[in-house]
Amino acid sequence: MTISSDKTRTMLTLRKELKEQAQERAKQENRSLNNLIETALIEYLNKSAK
């Protein structure tokens, strides 16, 4: 799978329970796990920058 030039791949290690919860939330919100994590990280960084 090719990724766009403005993105990069990274590995992430999570507790199994946390990953399962995140996957379930992503499914409920009809989006990918990647999108859920990326959105949460963006919101966290924006909030902590203020």
pLDDT tens column, 3-47: 889 999 999 999 999 999 999 999 999 999 999 999 999 999 999
Q: Considering the domain boundaries, does residue 3 fall inside one? A: no
Q: Considering the domain boundaries, does residue 32 fall inside one? A: yes
- In which domain, by residue range, is 38 found? 16-48
Q: Which has the higher per-residue pLDDT, 49 or 20?
A: 20
Q: What is the 3-state secondary structure (H, E, C) of the chain?
A: CCCCCCCCCCCCCCCHHHHHHHHHHHHHCCCCHHHHHHHHHHHHHHHHCC
Q: Considering the domain boundaries, does residue 4 fall inside one? A: no
With contact defined as beta carbons under 8 Å apart, do 22 and 37 qualify? yes
Q: How many domains does the chain have?
A: 1
Distance from chain centroid for Cα 33 = 6
Q: Considering the domain boundaries, does residue 11 fall inside one? A: no
Overall size of the chain counted in residues: 50
pLDDT of residue 3: 86
